[in-house]
């Protein structure tokens, strides 16, 4: 489940007892940082990333249903949880498709433009004030994106590929997902989790069908095994996130999760032959700095 779970109110532990939860969060960040590898392998095997995303979250949803059979009724009673399902589905569809077809580092960095979207969405849905510090973070993130996207002689620094646009859209949907999780913190955890997994099934499958990216695939046993193994890996990563986020302060959780950028950049450079240019590193540093500042800021007041 791709969300920072900012609604958790973790009780600070002694530093020695934080090692295991922090390690669990690193596991989650690592899985997402290297997720482009299995998705590209599945695509090469004939299973488009949209279909593989739907399959992964189907297995995750089944795990929730076994544990909490009443969750579907709770989900269907709440329009906000249905919106959460949509936001989560768009997040996962865009991110997984983007890292499959685009430059991994660019897609991940554009995805992490969350401070820009979160400020606007939190104002609209939660009534949070837009402070000078929030505007400074937005400016920092936008400057970073401009540096990453800038091409000599190309005019305005706008996304230049479908992968770029998917990274941007996925990040905006991720910001909405996290704001909705905060708004619906009083709903049962199983219903929130099922909403996110259900969206991860429905949105990618619908997009794959409407865009006709591929027909519903007929895959061999090797690809099916890889898809199922990837699903188990993501389910384990989600459990690790739940464990770590429940035991650490929210700011610590958000900071540790940013290690995903490092894992993605490192594996893309080693296994994807992507060059980490000075421009990408500089722009990425600005984007990560904006996310760090957002993570470390105390809770904002609500009007």
Residue 58 domain-assigned? yes
pLDDT bracket for residue 1 (50, 70, 90): low
Find all residues with CB under 8 Å of 178, minimum gap 6, and list them: 3, 4, 5, 6, 114, 118
Could you list the residue range(s) of the whole structural domain that residue 178 is in?
16-296
Q: What is the pLDDT of residues 37-94, one digit of tens each?
A: 999 999 988 889 999 999 989 988 998 899 889 999 999 999 999 999 999 999 999 9
Tally of structural domains, the chain: 1
Q: What is the pLDDT of residues 176-202, one digit of tens each?
A: 998 898 888 888 888 988 999 999 999
Closest CA to 180 of 86, 115, 113: 86
Residue 185 domain-assigned? yes
Distances in Å between the alpha carbon of 301 and those of 86, 116, 254? 27, 18, 19
**Which residues does residue 128 pair with via DSSP β-bridges, in sequence order?**
302
Say if residues 279 and 147 touch (Cβ distance below 8 Å): yes
Say if residues 48 and 208 touch (Cβ distance below 8 Å): yes
Total Cβ atoms within 10 A of residue 90: 23
Cα separation, 177 vs 181, in Å, equals 6
Find all residues with CB under 8 Å of 123, minimum gap 6, and list them: 129, 130
Residue 167 domain-assigned? yes
Sequential DSSP letters for 37-56: HHHHHHHHTT--HHHHHHHH
pLDDT higher than 50, residue 301: no
Say if residues 50 and 208 touch (Cβ distance below 8 Å): yes
Q: What is the pLDDT of residues 207-227, one digit of tens each?
A: 998 886 655 556 678 888 998
Q: What share of the chain is helix, strand, coil (3-state, %, to 5)?
A: 75, 0, 25
Residue 302 domain-assigned? no
Widest Cα–Cα separation across the chain: 57
Residue 288 domain-assigned? yes
Residue 64 domain-assigned? yes
pLDDT higher than 90, residue 35: yes
Residue 186 tokens read as 């009083």
pLDDT higher than 80, residue 96: yes
Cα separation, 84 vs 36, in Å, equals 24
Residue 303 domain-assigned? no
Residue 265 domain-assigned? yes
Predicted model pTM? 0.86
Closest CA to 247 of 1, 30, 14: 14
Residue 239 tokens read as 């459990």
């Amino acid at each position: 489940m791709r969300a920072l779970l900012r609604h958790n109110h973790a009780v600070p532990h002694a530093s020695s007892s934080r090692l295991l939860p922090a390690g669990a969060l690193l596991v989650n960040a690592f899985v997402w940082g290297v997720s482009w590898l299995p998705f590209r392998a599945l695509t090469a095997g004939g299973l488009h990333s949209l279909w593989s995303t739907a399959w992964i979250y189907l297995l995750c949803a089944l795990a929730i249903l076994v544990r909490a059979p009443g969750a579907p009724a709770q989900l269907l009673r709440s329009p906000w949880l249905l919106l959460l399902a949509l936001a989560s589905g768009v997040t996962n569809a865009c991110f997984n498709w983007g890292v499959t077809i685009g430059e991994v580092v660019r897609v991940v960095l554009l995805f992490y433009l969350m401070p820009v979207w979160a400020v606007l969405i939190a104002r609209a849905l939660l009534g949070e004030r837009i402070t000078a510090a929030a505007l400074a973070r937005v400016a920092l993130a936008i400057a970073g994106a401009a540096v990453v996207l800038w091409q000599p002689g190309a005019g305005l620094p706008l996304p230049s590929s479908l992968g770029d646009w998917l990274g941007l859209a996925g990040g905006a949907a991720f910001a909405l997902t996290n704001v909705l999780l905060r708004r619906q913190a009083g709903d049962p955890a199983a219903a929130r989790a099922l909403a996110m997994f259900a969206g991860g099934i429905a949105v990618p499958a619908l997009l794959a069908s409407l865009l006709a990216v591929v027909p519903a695939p007929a895959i061999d046993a090797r690809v099916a095994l890889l898809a199922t193994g990837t699903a188990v890996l993501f389910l384990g990563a989600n459990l690790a996130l739940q464990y770590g986020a429940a035991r650490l302060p929210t700011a610590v959780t958000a900071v540790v999760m940013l290690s995903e950028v490092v894992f993605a950049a490192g594996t893309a450079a080693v296994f994807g032959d992507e060059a980490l240019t000075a421009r990408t590193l500089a722009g990425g540093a600005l984007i990560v700095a904006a996310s760090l500042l957002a993570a470390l800021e105390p809770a904002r007041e609500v009007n």
